Amino acid sequence: MSESDKKVEWIKQRKYLHLIHNQIYNAGGSVKMAIPRSIIHVGSCDAFSQIFNKYPEIPIIIYLHAEWCAPCRSIEPLWKRLAEEYAGRVFFLEANIDICKDIMQRFRVMGVPTFLVFHRWSERFRLTGAQSYSTLKTLIHKTLSLVQLNA
């Protein structure tokens, strides 16, 4: 690909992102597109990819867990509490790794619980292991700052 082709492609990408951003956000920076107000359970990489590709401008946090995992069970109430507290501002997804092995492989997740943050088609943050409420809340604030930085 020539340098001019790369530049044209970059301009197209920026224009596309600008159009998507305008569809999602009002002039004041608040979200005008409805983000689900509850946790979405994904069953495969394909389901995750559909959300990921449809809403590239909205930050996504996916919580990977397993039923047999004691730390996952201890984090579950914190995760639900944060999802309620920040409902409509971030996509909250979760996936059971025993069902969604393809997600574990695709994102090279080695342990659970794991929290992955995505924005604009790329992974931005990752936390693995049992986390405190304040650590998870900090992760959400970092996630929300991605939107403010790119507005």
- The set of long-range contacts for 86-90, using a CB threshold of 8 Å and a minimum separation of 24, is 86/140, 86/144, 87/35, 87/37, 87/38, 88/31, 88/34, 88/35, 88/36, 88/37, 89/31, 89/35, 89/144, 90/35, 90/58, 90/59, 90/60, 90/61, 90/140, 90/143, 90/144
Contact 102, 45 (CB under 8 A): yes
- Residues marked as catalytic: 69, 72
Distance of CA 100 to the CA centre of its chain: 16
